[in-house]
Amino acid sequence: MVKYLSEEWATEAKKKVLAELDPKKDLKGMNASLMNVVQNVPPDQKTIYFYIRFVDGKLEELLATSDESVKQKPAEFTVTGDYTTFVQISSGQMSSAMALLKNRVKMAGNKIKAFTITKPIDTFNACIQKLSTEY
Amino acid sequence: MFFCFLLLKSFKKEKSIKSLTLSILKGNNMKLADVLETTQKEPHCGMCKVDFLGTGLCPAGKKHGYVAYWPEGRMELARALAENEVKPTDALLDIVKSCDLCGICDRQCYFITQRRPTQAHQAMKDYVKTLKPNMIQHVAEDDVVKDLRAIVGAEWATNDPIIIASYTRSILRQPPTGKFYIVMPRTKEEIVDIVKLAEKYKIPYLPRGNGTFFGVVLQTLLAEPATIEQGIIIDLLRMKDLHIDPESITATIGPGVTSFELQKAAHAHTLRANVAEAESHVCANAQNLGIITTWSNTYGWGTDNFIDAEYIDSTGAIQHLSDKDVPNPYASEQGLLSLSLIPSVIVTQLTLKLHQILPDEDAVFIPFSNLSDALDLAHEIAQRNLGVSLAVLSRKYLTEFISPTHEIAEGFNYIAERYLKLNYVVDVICDSHSKKIIEELADITFGREMIKSLILGSSKIASMKDSDLLKMISEEDNPLKAVFAGPLRKHFEKGLAASPRDLVNAYDSDLRDFFEKLYSKPELTDPIWLHSFRILPCRMERKHMWMYRGGYMPGDKKTILKVVDALEKPAKENNIDGAFGFLSYLERGKLAHLEYDYYYDHTDPDARKRVNKAIVESWRRQFAIRGVTPLEFICSKGLHKKEHILYPFPPGLSKEDLEHFEELIETLFGGEEKW
């Protein structure tokens, strides 16, 4: 059991994605970088930056940190929302696209490109849901 | 003395209606199951909260506010109890007690959807009599409701499952899954506190106008993105501030004001508001759909309608669109990922433009047998900026709206199609100068008197399936010309000659006196009044639920016909009854709005599945046409400028884009088997 959005969770999640998802078949060879800004993370309501970057479908980076310097990393999309919403997404209760439709998260970035990566991102989320996680 | 006699006569008549209603119900010991068919099909139009017939409103609803106390909510409760979705609580006893079966709702509801809510109320009264004291739940106050009550007062916030259940299918999914609260604020400051409270407890919230939009959408695969899975429903009904400023020709309103109420207040100053259907809350409709009307070629859409909006954002801050410091309030997203059925802010006040009513306004109708010809004329009228209200109406709308019952509408529809070849009508409200020009442009026209004859004679028309006169007309080269412009017109009008007394024979006997008196009022047969007050559209829900299709597009005929085809084919392929509704223009015909409807039985799971398939297929087809924005992708963008939503024209999805579209649909709604 790993704590959601902890460094340990990030390490385990990356391992799992690299081991279980095929860059071409599952992740459609996508090239994308995404910064998730998770607000009001308990217990002290801080902000955690959950950053992912794919190159040709391979997960190159997966970070979860409160260190603001991560904001310097290149991100084509920034998704901002509350901790409770990200828990719903990461635990499979709601897809990220549905969270966007329901105004639970705000997204900055090219929506046309976002439209093309919703499926592989959904597959990525489904994979990390399988981690034994403490929310 | 004579006056006293009239009063007494009128009183006796009123009393007799009530006693008749009661006598039908008395002693029948009705069961919830007996009224299940009608309560299941209750469409949640919300017209019972509008005094559109001059009957006054349901006294219990007016006093208590919550949907549960209005006829609409009682019907929903009767269904939820019958289907064991909710258990009785103390609130149920109060709701049942608050209804004295006065019959106002029967008159209102029968006029619109041919339902008798008193039957459901009686069934609930009889059901409550069967409950033993230990079967009634006492609902404990939790922290959230305690805090909500501290904001709005004890009476106006609740966590009672019975009251919550009455909101099912008009904002909550059926059956509601999570933990919900209902709160009815009176002021914007209270809403600010509610938003902050939701943030404190980390629960979502959703504002509710009259729920009509949800009544339609929640039956489809759009249910999930349209609502919340738990949280606070902010019912805005109590916020009814309304001020007309005749000098600036504006109205400033709160979010509880309905279109009918605003129009009535505006008309008192010989002004007109550009409003949606009578029951819709103006602020919610403006925010959600931008106010779609037949008046849009002249009065506009979206931000054209208002001067300023006050709203509360997700942090609880009160903002105004006119504030210099707010980020560009009119900018909007386009495209597939811009779909958002949940508003990002709560509109608490809107200052709307009103319009002067011209003293010589009149109505002109130009009948057509085919859409292509109707579009040619309507577009020409739009380009020339003739008239104030302009639309192409379908036979379906014309016959359904003006007929007192669905059965009469079906008969009328048959006659119009089979004998008269009356399939579309270009429908114009204009001044006398424009009328002359339109009459010159069109071969055949008819006016207010003919509409009055069609309304009052609708039941007679419907019964004329074997009429020799109609058979004779249908054999003419141009039956429309023969009926509306030729020598047979006189015979047709004479044949129709009908009075309110003839019309109301179609109603239940105890309602006939009331409806005879009602149809004797000039406004009920006046097309200008009916276009302004829009009390008839919910009649399309009499038989079945419907789903709005269509949206915005370039105003050229070629594009419009392509869109009609894109909507018609999925309906046919999925065995859904689809029909053109109406088309109106914007900006002198540069843009058009089309409503095409899918009618289906929402109580039938297979029909729901088919309608969902047709919805997805119709998106796919519409997105492939350049310049088309389906209606759902307009939702929640009514505060934005149409120029930012509709321009640049979307290019039309490529084959590759359509593949991504399939993936997005699967991500959002799962595969077809889940619909």
CATH (domain of B255): 3.30.465.10
Closest CA to B37 of B612, B611, B602: B602
Look up the CATH number of the domain holding residue B496: 3.40.462.10
For strand A32-41 and strand A77-82, is the pairing parallel, antiparallel, or unpaired? parallel
Q: Which has more pLDDT, A122 or B281?
A: B281
Rounded Cα gap, residues B116 and B314, in angstroms: 41
Q: Do A84 and B202 touch (CB under 8 A)?
A: yes
Q: Is A40 on the interface with B (CB under 8 A)?
A: yes
Of B235, B251, B272, the domain-final residue: B235
Nearest CA-CA partner of B638 in B301, B138, B184:
B301
Is the CB of A112 inside 8 Å of chain B's CB atoms? yes
CB contact under 8 A, B663 and A111: no
Rounded to a whole number of angstroms, the distance from the CA of A91 to the nearest CA of chain B is 15
User: Is the minimum CB–CB distance between B143 and chain A shorter than 8 Å?
Assistant: no
Contact map slice: A 62-81 vs B, CB within 8 A: none
Determine contact, residues B39/B76, Cβ cutoff 8 Å: yes
B618 token code pair: 């119709």
Question: Do B201 and B65 share a domain, yes or no?
Answer: no
- Same domain? B123 vs B209: no
Structure tokens at B656: 């590759």
Cβ atoms of B86 and B159 closer than 8 Å: no
Q: Looking at the structure, do residues B183 and B277 belong to the same domain, yes or no?
A: no
- Cβ contacts (< 8 Å) between A101 and chain B: which residues? 225, 339-342, 668
Look at B202 and A40 and tell me if their CB atoms are within 8 Å. yes
Query: Does residue B383 sit in the same domain as residue B530?
Result: yes
Within an 8 Å CB–CB cutoff, is residue B23 touching chain A? Answer: no
B673 part of a folded domain: no
d(CA B311, CA B529): 32
Residues B617 and B587 sit within 8 Å (Cβ to Cβ): no
Residues of chain B where predicted confidence (pLDDT) is lower than 50: 1-20, 23-24
How many whole angstroms from its chain centre is CA B454?
23
Peptide bond preceding B175: is omega within 30 degrees of 0, i.e. cis? yes
User: Is B663 a member of any domain?
Assistant: no
Residues in chain A: 135
Planar angle of CA B59, B62, B67, nearest 5 degrees: 110
Q: Which of A40, A101, A115 sits opposite B340 (nearest CB)?
A: A101
Distance between CA atoms of residues B227 and A123, nearest Å: 25
Question: Which of B344, B657, B663 is nearest residue A103 as measured by Cβ atoms?
Answer: B344
Are residues B337 and A122, on separate chains, in Cβ contact within 8 Å?
Answer: no
The Cβ-side half-sphere exposure at B313, using a 13 Å CA radius, reads: 9
Rounded to whole angstroms, the Cα distance separating A63 from B290 reads 42
Whether residue B664 and residue A115 make contact (CB cut-off 8 A), yes or no, is yes
pLDDT, tens digit, 9 for 90 and up, residues B222-249: 999 999 999 999 999 999 999 999 999 9
Please check whether residue B675 lies inside any domain of the structure. Answer: no
CB B61 within 8 A of CB B105: no
**Bridge partners, residue B118, by sequence:** none
B338 interfacial to chain A (CB closer than 8 Å): yes
Which residues fall within 8 angstroms of residue A14, CB to CB, at 6 or more apart?
A59, A62
Å from A124 to nearest chain B CA?
A: 12
Domain identity same for B297 and B169: no
Domain hosting B217: range is 143-235
Establish if B496 belongs to a structural domain. yes
Residues B621, B517 within the same domain:
yes
Buried b / exposed e over B271-310, threshold 16 CB at 10 Å, is: bbbbbbbbbbbbbbbbbbbbbbbbbbbbbbbbbbbbeebb
Last residue of a domain, one of B185, B208, B235: B235
Q: Quick one: B11 exposed, middle or buried, by C-beta within 10 A (0-12, 13-18, 19+)?
A: exposed
**pLDDT for the residue numbered B28:** 60
DSSP B142: -
How many angstroms away from the CA of A54 is the closest CA of chain B? 19
Asked if A98 is an interface residue toward chain B (Cβ–Cβ < 8 A), one would say: yes
Is there a domain that residue B653 lies in?
no
- What pLDDT, on the 0 to 100 scale, is given for residue A113? 85
B22 contact partners, CB below 8 Å, separation of at least 6: B101
Show the CA angle centred on residue B516, arms to residues B514 and B522, nearest 5°.
Answer: 110
φ, ψ for residue B628 (rounded to 5)?
-95, 130
Burial class (CB in 10 A: 0-12, 13-18, 19+), B508: middle
Is B97 in the same domain as B189?
no
**Quick one: angle between helices A83-90 and A111-129, nearest 10?**
70
Nearest of A22, A16, A17 to residue A56 by alpha carbon: A22
Distances in Å between the Cα of B166 and the Cα atoms of B162, B203, B211, B298 are: 7, 21, 12, 39
- Asked if residue B22 belongs to a domain, the reply is no
* Selection from A48, A61, A36 nearest residue A5 by Cα: A48
Query: Could you count the other beta carbons within 10 Å of the beta carbon of residue B126?
Result: 17
Say what the pLDDT of residue B487 is. 79
Nearest CA to B32 out of B98, B94, B108, B83 is that of B83
CA B654 to chain centre: 35
| Nearest by CB: A97 against B333, B657, B664 | B664
Q: Which of B356, B390, B422 is the last residue of a domain?
A: B356
DSSP string, B82-108: HTTSS--BHHHHHHHHH----SHHHHH
Specify whether the backbone of B44 is left (phi greater than 0), alpha (psi in -120 to 50) or beta: left
pLDDT of residue B18: 45
Number of structural domains in chain B = 4
Radius of gyration for chain B, computed over Cα atoms and rounded to the nearest angstrom: 25
User: Which residue has 């009649």 as its token pair?
Assistant: B539
Put simply, whether A87 touches B (Cβ < 8 Å) is no
- For residue B176, give the DSSP letter: P
Same-domain pairing of B392 and B329: no
> Which of B335, B666, B668 lies at the smallest CB-CB distance from A111?
B335
Clarify whether residues B417 and B509 are in a common domain: yes
Identify whether B121 is part of a domain.
Answer: yes
Q: Do A101 and B344 touch (CB under 8 A)?
A: no
Q: Given CB atoms, is A39 within the 8 Å cutoff of chain B?
A: no
Report residue B18 as tokens. Answer: 């009530």
Residues B111 and B170 grouped into a single domain: no
| Yes or no, beta carbons of B202 and A118 under 8 Å apart | no
Looking at residue B77, its amino acid is L
Is some CB atom of chain A closer than 8 A to the CB atom of B666?
A: yes
3-state secondary structure of A40: strand
Instruction: Give the strands of the sheet with A105-108, arranged side by side.
Output: A58-65, A46-55, A32-41, A77-82, A105-108
When CB atoms are compared, the residue of A95, A104, A116 closest to B668 is: A95
Helices and strands (DSSP H and E) totals, chain A:
4, 7
Contact between B375 and B442 under an 8 Å Cβ cutoff? The reply is no
Interface with B, mutate which of A115, A117, A123 (most B CBs under 10 A): A115
| Contact check, Cβ <8 Å, A97/B660 | no
Token code pair at residue B468? 């020799």
Same domain, B468 and B540: yes
Q: Rounded distance, CA B90 to CA B138, Å?
A: 6
Predicted confidence (pLDDT) per residue in A59-98, tens digit = 999 999 999 999 999 999 999 999 999 999 998 889 888 9
Which chain B residues touch A112 with a CB distance below 8 Å? 335
Which one of B224, B314, B660 has the shortest CB-CB distance to A98?
A: B224
Contacts of residue B54, Cβ cutoff 8 Å, sequence gap at least 6: B518
A–B interface: beta-carbon pairs under 8 A: 58
Q: Which amino acid is at B393?
A: L
Asked whether the beta carbons of residue B667 and residue A119 sit closer than 8 angstroms, the reply is yes
Instruction: List, in order of start, the domains of chain A with CATH numbers.
Output: 2-134 (3.30.1050.10)
Q: What's the alpha-carbon Rg for chain A, to the nearest Å?
A: 14
Distance from CA of A84 to the nearest CA of B (A): 7
- Any domain includes B7: no
B224 plus B269 within the same structural domain: no
Can you give B551-562 as a three-state secondary structure string?
Answer: EEEECCHHHHHH
A45 reaches B (C-beta below 8 A):
no
